[in-house]
Amino acid sequence: MKKGTIYHANSKTTKSVNTVKVAKHWDSNGKNPPRQWLHNLYIREKVLLHPLNWHGGCWFNWLQNKYFQSPSENALSLCCGSGQNERRMVQVRIAKKVTALDISEGQLKRAREESEKVGYDQIIDYQHANIQEVILPENQYDSVIVVAGLHHLVNLPHVFKQIHRTLKPKGIFVLTEYVGPDHMDYTPWERELIQKTLFSLDENKRRGKSLGYLMERAGLQTREQAILRDPSEGVNSSLIMQNLRNYFNVDVEIEMGHSLLRECLYDLVDNFSYDDKKDQKILDDLINLERSLRKHKIIENHHVFGVYRPKYK
């Protein structure tokens, strides 16, 4: 195999997902996605940055400070979408070169356009690829980063094997990810809890910014609705951590929480101002409710941020 080349190969999967449909979904829906819970800086500080003992507003700055005080040679980003994470990696000097893969040509087109606008088109190489089928070059990258992409993948054993293969011996694997029930198939009482929590908010906080109407229902979908909209949504999310631990040791791992915040604040996060004390109180109450329920093992963690090192026998 020629060094540095990404090869395409067929891989068997335990579930069948129409990858053409998935790619088309992201082609058409990836341009202006609804704002999610972690887009809110106050929430991000509370559930991720404070546990990391970092107050810089962005976990990429923490990552650069802890692991890449001098930029590395090569980084790989999987399921890159519209490219904002790769641009941030270059901006904070995590790597001199970034290779980024995605299955959606539409998303890659947007990523390339935005990269060119800021002069990063010679630094970030966006490639069309299905990570569930490619063979990655051996010992190629100093870091591999996946942001909310693994829960869209069926063939997790192949993916983790390839990430392990392509990392240099002292490299790191970084992810921030949903690891809850497959297809967001919450229990009935979890759905009731999330719905009641949504209705505890005032009406002015329940009006979606991008959708433009009063949210009468939390951002919940039934399993069937989730599959119909995007068959890859949470397809094997419950198996992510056990597959990860087959190949990697924990360097840093943060449990960011259950899906209560994710579902309740779907498209509503911009209704809460970072420096408004009343808004902070509402968000604190939601965060503390979730933490209390997790502490008493009434709900489980669904979201993880982690930095991992490859295992070797």
pLDDT of residue 5: 62
Report whether pLDDT(10) > 50.
Answer: no
Least confident span in 8-22, 58-72, 259-273 = 8-22
For the chain, give the percent of residues with pLDDT over 70.
Answer: 91
Q: Is residue 175 part of a domain?
A: yes
Distances (CA, A) of 249 to 15, 68, 147, 165, 313: 27, 19, 19, 15, 12
Strands (E), 81-135: 95-102, 124-128, 134-135
Distances (CA, A) of 95 to 136, 245, 294: 18, 26, 37
CATH of the domain at 24: 3.40.50.150
228 compared with 203, residue with greater pLDDT: 203
Report whether pLDDT(3) > 70.
Answer: no
Find where tokens 């941030």 sit. 88
Q: Is residue 285 part of a domain?
A: yes
Which range marks the domain in which residue 220 is found?
A: 7-310
Mean pLDDT of 230-248: 94
Mean pLDDT of 190-210: 91
Mean pLDDT of 288-313: 95
Q: How many domains is the chain partitioned into structurally?
A: 1
pLDDT of residue 30: 58
Q: What whole-number distance in Å separates Cα of residue 260 and Cα of residue 292?
A: 12
136-173 pLDDT, tens per residue? 999 999 999 999 999 999 999 999 999 999 999 999 99
Report whether pLDDT(71) > 90.
Answer: yes
75-120 pLDDT, tens per residue? 999 999 999 999 999 999 999 999 999 999 999 999 999 999 999 9
pLDDT of residue 285: 97
| Eight-state DSSP code of residue 203 | G
Cross-strand partners of 143? 75, 172
Mean pLDDT of 212-236: 85
Q: Is residue 1 part of a domain?
A: no
Q: What whole-number distance in Å separates Cα of residue 178 and Cα of residue 234?
A: 8
Q: Is residue 2 part of a domain?
A: no
Q: What whole-number distance in Å separates Cα of residue 163 and Cα of residue 58?
A: 24
pLDDT of residue 68: 95
| Eight-state DSSP code of residue 277 | H
Q: Is residue 291 part of a domain?
A: yes
Q: Is residue 124 part of a domain?
A: yes
Report whether pLDDT(4) > 80.
Answer: no
Local confidence band at 222 (pLDDT 50, 70, 90 cut-offs): confident
